[in-house]
Amino acid sequence: GAVVSQHPSWVICKSGTSVKIECRSLDFQATTMFWYRQFPKQSLMLMATSNEGSKATYEQGVEKDKFLINHASLTLSTLTVTSAHPEDSSFYICSAPPGGTGINYGYTFGSGTRLTVV
């Protein structure tokens, strides 16, 4: 089946620094990647949708300059949290939609990244 590899699985960073989270589709090509944020005991909230070769689409209320999303290739999408603050501490998870190229694998989620800003 399809696998999306997400790294790092957890990261602790100092307030004011930037953190990059990567999601790679290992055995299929993902032209689109959904990025979600999940605060403790809460739901998955869609932040943005990245598209290979074009600008990401951000959900209302999500700061584009703070959460930089890049879809560099058909197998790599990245989320960079810039100038991180403690309130950005959360569980970030990516998801590739079904379809990919040729084979329908269903929605495939990364394993998530636990970000803690101190």
Q: Could you list the residues that contact another protein (CB under 8 A)?
A: 34, 41-46, 49, 60, 91, 93, 95, 97-99, 106-107, 109-112, 114
Secondary structure in 3-state letters for 30-85: CCEEEEEEECCCCCCEEEEEEECCEEEEECCCCCCCCEEEEEEECCEEEEEECCCC
Q: How far is the CB of 40 from another protein (least distance, A)?
A: 10
Of residues 19 and 112, the one with the C-beta less far from another protein: 112
**CA 74/CA 76 separation, integer angstroms:** 6
**CA 59/CA 56 separation, integer angstroms:** 10
> What residue has token string 């869609």?
46
Q: How far is the CB of 2 from another protein (least distance, A)?
A: 12
Q: Under 8 Å CB-to-CB from 60, ≥6 apart: which residues? A: none
Q: How far is the CB of 51 from another protein (least distance, A)?
A: 12
Of residues 79 and 112, the one with the C-beta less far from another protein: 112
Q: How far is the CB of 49 from another protein (least distance, A)?
A: 6
Of residues 75 and 112, the one with the C-beta less far from another protein: 112
Of residues 18 and 55, the one with the C-beta less far from another protein: 55
